[in-house]
Amino acid sequence: MSILVNRDTRVLIQGITGRVGRAQTTYMLAEGTQIVAGVTPGKGGTVEQGVPVFDHVGDAVRVRGADMSLLFVPPAVAEDAVAETLDAGIRMLVLITEGIPVHTTMRIRRRVEDAGARLVGPATPGVITPGQCKVGIMPARFFTPGPVGIVSRSGTLSYEVSAQLSAAGIGQSTVVGLGADPVVGTDIVELLQLFDEDPETRVVVLVGEVGGTQEERAARFVAQGMRTPLLAYVAGRCAVADVPMGHAGALVREGAGAVVDKIAAFEAAGVPVAASPGCIVDLVRRLLAPDHASSSTHAVVT
């Protein structure tokens, strides 16, 4: 099985006629994603790569029946675009856009929650269930179907980890890019809950990084009774306090967000922690082994 997306997901793309939207539509169609409609104001009635384009999300949903929206929209209109999507009845959104102000994202998240919807992003590479559906900008050649779920705060590290697993003959159930901003629509714990409920996800890899407290909350969730084996890697051992490292979400402040604190939280919860991305494959193999013990593993794997 999978989480969030599968071969039956009917995707609408907001911004389908833009440079990025058009290119990514090509790649998603090649992976079998059901892109049923596009939306670009002023381009209604045109066709993009066989996909009908509408001026408004409501019209696209009424005519084509989309159940997920992928948004390639500028930061200045992201809030209005999300509101239009929710008003049209779509309850699953993936927001690729980078550079959205934090307070705007907070308003977006509140509106999504009030609507009973789910938002992945912003600043996310998207979601992929290999062999079934790709929603976003992830390079599909790195992913293969299999039993390992991945949730990552880093887009490129999600590609690297998936590529290494695939090269070792270990596929992925679903890979989710959490989003790189300090505030995101769906956090790590929510995604771990979804993976834990998926009977075909046998191991989950969490790729964390400096900044924020999501990893610590994930460790508490594991300690409270997550059934699916989890392993973690935390990037940013060399991060300097109060200096942004790569993007807005990776900021260590005094007393919060340091790698050592995150590793300590995982160890206390019995979650094995890889010392580097190159250690993840061997650790996954151990957790997938038929004789894998259910007892906790308090170790940093080197």
The structural domains of the chain, with segments of one domain joined by +, span 10-120, 138-301
Among the options 103, 247, 292, 298, which is catalytic? 247
Given this model, what pLDDT does residue 297 score? 42
- Of the candidates 165, 153, 171, 276, which has an alpha carbon nearest to the alpha carbon of residue 218? 153
Q: How far apart are CA 113 and CA 219, in angstroms?
A: 24
What is residue 211's predicted lDDT score, i.e. its pLDDT?
86
Q: What is the pLDDT of residue 282?
A: 98
Q: Which tokens sit at 24?
A: 């990514």
pLDDT in the model for residue 295: 42
| 13, two tokens | 């793309």
Q: Name the architecture of domain 138-301.
A: 3-Layer(aba) Sandwich (3.40)
pLDDT at 205: 98
Q: Contact 186/127 with Cβ under 8 angstroms?
A: no
**Cα–Cα distance between 173 and 17 in angstroms, integer?**
30
Per-position pLDDT tens, the chain of length 302: 799 999 999 999 999 999 999 999 999 999 999 999 999 999 999 999 999 999 999 999 999 999 999 999 999 999 999 999 999 999 999 999 999 999 999 999 999 999 999 999 999 999 999 999 999 999 999 999 999 999 999 999 999 999 999 999 999 999 999 998 999 999 999 999 999 999 999 999 999 998 889 999 999 999 999 999 999 999 987 656 656 555 544 555 555 578 999 999 999 999 999 999 999 999 999 999 985 644 444 345 54
Q: What is the pLDDT of residue 292?
A: 63
- DSSP for 112-130 reads HHHTT-EEE-SS--EEEET
Quote the pLDDT of residue 240: 61
* 10-120 and 138-301 share one fold: yes
CATH, domain range 10-120: 3.40.50.720
Question: What distance in Å separates the CA atoms of residue 302 and residue 290, rounded to the nearest whole number?
Answer: 22
Give the Cα separation of 11 and 300 in Å (integer). Answer: 40
Cβ(206)–Cβ(143) below 8 Å: no
| pLDDT computed for residue 294 by the predictor | 45
Residues 2 and 127: beta-carbon distance below 8 Å: no
Active site residue 103: no
Between CA 301 and CA 271 the distance in angstroms is 11
